[in-house]
């Protein structure tokens, strides 16, 4: 539907309608590790549409009020000024209740709408393809690409009347709310499965443990009937294919690299439609182990793709469940990282698969664990697919809404049950 009233939309410069602030150069020598202290919002914490706090630096809570100019509030739009765009997308986000309190650090911009631009609408202006293209066209610097506050303010766009902004925000934020709710559900489900593994196979409080005696082993005390085993004894680890640029095509299946494990398949992910052995095919539910650069284990949920080198595809031998292997690898990742080599890029030797051991339970117990955990992991997969559909629908609407191409009054609100049927 064509937007019938977009003749009231003015083309404006962003700088005339934003309050832009950059953060303070907090000294790293005063960072703390106390979880009760205040999180510092640095460029590293800004992802694509959300903030990640897993490696947050902190500042003394006693000094929080002294930096009131760096305080943030719910709804503030955040944009990384160094490396503002990476292959996964633009590094921008907006502040939620769960992000507060925090302090803004230098080279991160905080934006609030002024003079007829609603801050909630501003976040979708910043998230639009047009703004990303603007950033790509003006980013400077070779070693550390960056943008300035002046660059950000130079962006031009069409500003609709506030009632139109409010309707567009209500539609787009409904998608964001559903996505965020699903992400919370995913976190809860994954934590449930992890804790079940920990309870049974780390603390040895499995069903019937009261009647089991324990014995000494090289891993310490373990239940009778269990034995220490190396991962190489119970699983196969197949390294991915050594793709070269000449293998890449415009279509075909995506090539799964370390980046895709962390960010998912994006428009920039290389693809290959050529001849690749079927053993390198990855499907949803496969266990992947990144043994180079970023050492970790993952359950792949991004659809079919080709496995790139530096990743192992892990399969159990003699019927050992993938779910059990996945959580066993996650539990022992500290030991793998301790055996990693390299200064600029960490990696492990295949020999570590022979050296890192864990207590192997009886087949009946690992099967029972799999029976309980697999439905949980399947629900996680369903929720991630829902989020993929929601993001696709939102990203399709976003440029049309902020450009006035379609009329906001005729667009229905998204519903979770619609995604169920997708």
Tell me the DSSP string of 245-280. Answer: GGG-BSSSEEEE-HHHHHH---TTS-EE-S---GGG
pLDDT at 74: 96
Which 8-state DSSP code applies to residue 124?
Answer: H
Q: For residue 80, give the nearest of 55, 118, 113, 111 by alpha carbon.
A: 111
Q: Which residues contact 287 (CB under 8 A, 6 or more apart)?
A: 297, 298, 299, 300, 313, 314, 315, 322, 325, 326, 329
77/174 Cα distance (integer angstroms): 18
Q: How many other β-carbons are positioned within 10 Å of the β-carbon of residue 282?
A: 24
Distances (CA, A) of 182 to 25, 188, 384, 389: 36, 10, 8, 12
**Residue 127, helix vs strand vs coil:** coil
pLDDT at 410: 72
pLDDT category, 345, cuts 50, 70, 90? low
Write out pLDDT tens, residues 162-188: 999 999 999 999 999 999 899 899 999
Burial of 234: CB neighbours in 10 Å, binned 0-12, 13-18, 19+: middle
Indicate whether 421 pLDDT > 70. no
Burial of 176: CB neighbours in 10 Å, binned 0-12, 13-18, 19+: buried
Asked if residue 147 lies in contact with residue 126, where contact means CB atoms within 8 angstroms, the answer is no
90/4 Cα distance (integer angstroms): 31
Residue 206 structure tokens: 């499995």
CATH class of 11-159: alpha beta
**What's the rounded mean pLDDT across residues 381-406?**
89
122/75 Cα distance (integer angstroms): 10
- What pTM was computed for the model? 0.80
Q: Which residues contact 334 (CB under 8 A, 6 or more apart)?
A: none
Span 186-377: which CATH code?
3.90.220.20
Domains of the chain by residue range = 11-159, 186-377
Write out pLDDT tens, residues 117-138: 999 999 999 999 899 999 989 8
pLDDT at 88: 65
- pLDDT mean across residues, the chain: 90
Write out pLDDT tens, residues 299-326: 999 999 999 999 999 999 989 999 999 9
Which 8-state DSSP code applies to residue 321?
Answer: -
């Amino acid at each position: 539907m064509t937007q019938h009233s977009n003749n009231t939309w003015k083309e404006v410069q962003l700088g005339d309608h934003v309050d832009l602030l950059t953060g303070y150069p907090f000294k790293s020598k005063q960072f703390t590790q106390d979880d009760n202290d205040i999180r510092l919002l640095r460029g590293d914490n800004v992802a694509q549409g959300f903030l990640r706090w897993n490696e947050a630096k902190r500042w003394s809570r006693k000094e929080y009020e002294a930096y009131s100019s760096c305080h943030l509030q719910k709804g503030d739009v955040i944009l990384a000024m160094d490396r503002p765009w990476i292959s996964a997308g633009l590094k921008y986000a907006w502040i939620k209740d769960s992000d507060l309190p925090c302090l803004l650090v230098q080279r991160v911009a905080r934006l609030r709408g002024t003079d007829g631009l609603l801050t909630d609408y501003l976040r979708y202006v910043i998230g639009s393809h047009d703004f990303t293209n603007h950033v790509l066209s003006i980013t400077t610097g070779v070693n550390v690409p960056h943008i300035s506050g002046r660059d950000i303010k130079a962006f031009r766009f069409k500003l609709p009347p506030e009632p139109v902004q409010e309707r567009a925000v209500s539609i787009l934020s409904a998608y964001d709310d559903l996505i965020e709710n699903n992400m919370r559900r995913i976190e809860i489900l994954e934590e449930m499965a992890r804790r079940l593994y920990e309870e049974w196979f780390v603390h040895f409080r499995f069903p019937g443990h009261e009647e089991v005696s324990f014995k000494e082993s090289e891993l310490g005390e373990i239940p009778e009937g269990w034995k220490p085993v190396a991962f190489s004894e119970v699983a196969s680890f197949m390294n991915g294919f050594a793709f070269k640029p000449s293998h890449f095509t415009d279509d075909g299946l995506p090539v799964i690299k370390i980046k895709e494990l962390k960010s998912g398949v994006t428009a920039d992910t290389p693809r290959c439609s050529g001849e690749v052995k079927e053993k390198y095919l990855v499907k949803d539910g496969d266990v992947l182990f990144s043994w180079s650069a970023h050492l970790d284990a993952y359950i792949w949920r991004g659809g079919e793709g080709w496995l790139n080198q530096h990743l192992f595809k892990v399969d159990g031998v003699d019927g050992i469940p993938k779910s059990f292997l996945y959580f066993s690898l996650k539990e022992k990742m500290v030991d793998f990282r301790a055996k990693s080599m390299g200064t600029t890029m960490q990696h492990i030797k295949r020999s570590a698969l022979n050296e890192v051991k864990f207590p192997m339970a009886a087949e009946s117990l690992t099967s029972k664990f799999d029976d309980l955990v697999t439905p949980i992991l399947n629900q996680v997969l369903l929720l991630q697919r829902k989020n993929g559909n929601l993001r696709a629908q939102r990203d399709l609407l976003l440029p049309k809404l902020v450009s006035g191409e379609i009329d906001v009054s005729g667009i229905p609100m998204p519903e979770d049950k619609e995604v169920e049927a997708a």
